[in-house]
Amino acid sequence: MAIYWVGDVQGCDAPLGRLLDVVDFSPSRDTLYVLGDLVNRGPASAQVLRRLMAMGESAQCVLGNHDLHLLAVAEGAGRLKPMDTLDGILQTSDRHALLEWLRHQRMAIWSHGVLMVHAGVLPSWTVAQTLALAGEVESVLRGPDGRDFLHQMYGNKPAAWREDLTGLDRLRVVVNALTRLRFCSAEGEMEFNAKEGADAAPAGFMPWFDVPLRRTADVTVAFGHWSTLGLLKRSDVWALDTGCVWGGCLSAMGLDADGQTQLIQVKCEQAQRPFSPQV
């Protein structure tokens, strides 16, 4: 039995299939965790969803900002952007099944000693609190209020977590942290404009994983989202978005039965655009 964590696929189905072939992935034996942004910007988003759906319980996914964008557009709560490649899902005959499967994916996962999110974790959150707050968003997305929430999900405020937050403000902070976070202050205020690498932090901000006394620093947090950060493998963080859709690699971390980790990468040859920060 082997475990794999893969960074942002973003509609690049051919590299995902090739990566699974390279590791001889078996759904009856192995588990794949996908760290969000399953769809968009690449050429085959619907095929990615169909592949992962067909893998059943052997594929576990967290939602990224592009996945939530798809759900919002499908509900009329957002507009397609010039670089979006979501028509293949929105216009397909199995649209409903694909969207319902996506809606029921997780916002955060804890397994095998690894906390999985798409973007980041606020420094004051423990693993348990992260999972609990993620669960609140999951329940809303899957419930009768999901459509209303998607219509009001967007926005940068509040920019920091407070225990007394309720309603949409509470949910929006959780979504923004888990799916959009790159930089924050030592006090946990989030900054959403900077999209370059870790050394481009605005004054007063730093990469979320470098905040002193971060309460998840004693575990490994696996995430994607930050293509300009590139690959990062530390005991406390694995950053696995290496810009496949922008002409980089699709990267995965593997854990074998002996507890040894290995990096697996395949080239995303189908990317036609020059490397550019993911938004």
**What are 55-79's pLDDT values in tens digits?**
999 999 999 999 999 999 999 999 9
Block residue for tokens 């290496």: 242
The closest of 116, 134, 130, 57 to 241, measured between CA atoms, is 116
Residue 272: pLDDT band (50, 70, 90) is very low
pLDDT confidence bin for 278, thresholds 50/70/90: very low
Q: Domains along the chain?
A: 3-267 (3.60.21.10)
161-182 mean pLDDT:
98
pLDDT at 33: 98
pLDDT at 120 > cutoff 60:
yes
Confidence of residue 259 (pLDDT cuts 50, 70, 90): confident
Residue 18 φ then ψ, to 5°: -65, -40
Give 1-28 pLDDT, tens digit per residue: 899 999 999 999 999 999 999 999 999 9
* 208-217 mean pLDDT: 98
| Helical segments of 75-166, H only | 87-90, 95-103, 127-142, 146-151
Stretch 93-112: mean pLDDT, rounded?
98
Q: How many CB atoms lie within 10 A of CB 206?
A: 17
pLDDT at site 258: 85
Question: In the structure, what pLDDT confidence band is assigned to residue 270 with cuts at 50, 70 and 90?
Answer: low
Res 91 pLDDT > 60: yes
DSSP conformation class of 244: G
Structure tokens belonging to residue 39: 């769809």
CB 274 within 8 A of CB 246: yes
Spatial strand order of the sheet with 220-223 comes to 109-111, 114-116, 220-223, 237-239, 232-233
Whole-model pTM: value is 0.95
Question: Among candidates 50, 57, 60, which has minimal Cα distance to 17?
Answer: 50
Q: Which two tokens stand for residue 32?
A: 């794949």
